[in-house]
Amino acid sequence: MTELIAFINTLQELDFETEEAIKKYFTKETYKKNELIIEEGKICSKICYIKSGLVRRFYLDDGEEITKWIYSNNQFITSLSSFFEQKPSFEIFQACEETILYSLSYTDEQLLLEYPLFAKFHIKLLRQYLSKLNEFHHSYKLMSAQEKYMYLLHSFPSIIKKAKLKHIASLIDVSPETLSRIRASIN
């Protein structure tokens, strides 16, 4: 839990009471490789902080898995619209390796938001997340496949090191063969 508290303190310094509440309401969960964390069609009931591991977010399009992002240590994950609006998720989150999470249920999040310092953290995190998401979608759409790969290589090396090649290819919207050519041209 120390990793989670340390991360929160980078955005919002907490007092003892708030730290204790966070320790009370967040729950440690362990997932095996390929185990589903959030399922399509079900209401997402939690937001999770990745202590260690790798998590892939994807959806199915005519039976084909389309990878939208791959998350690693010290990142929060949830199906945003499903969690915040409590409606069925259109996406799937899957552990790509053994993954340890600290999860917070929707109900417990509502209780934690009663703590002013956690509420401030929550707002700062959401603002940061939405800002980065907006920037990312703008920039990423304009990049070529090779530029996308280079962006991942420099900004998110854990994705390149740990994710399956077919998932990286899907993430940058190319075939595995094209990804192989991109990787060969860089080396």
The per-residue pLDDT for range 100-159, each reduced to its tens digit, is: 999 999 999 999 999 999 999 999 999 988 888 888 777 878 889 999 899 888 888 888
Q: Distance between CA atoms of 109 and 83, rounded to whole angstroms?
A: 11
Which pair of tokens denotes residue 115? 């703590």
Which pair of tokens denotes residue 98? 């053994």
* Residue 88: predicted pLDDT: 97
Which pair of tokens denotes residue 89? 């998720």
When computed from its CA atoms, the radius of gyration of the chain, rounded to whole angstroms, is 17
Which pair of tokens denotes residue 65? 């898995």
pTM score: 0.87
Q: Distance between CA atoms of 141 and 148, rounded to whole angstroms?
A: 9
Which pair of tokens denotes residue 153? 């290589």
Is pLDDT above 80 for 61? yes
H-helix or E-strand spanning residue 76: strand 76-77
Cα 45 to chain center, whole Å?
15
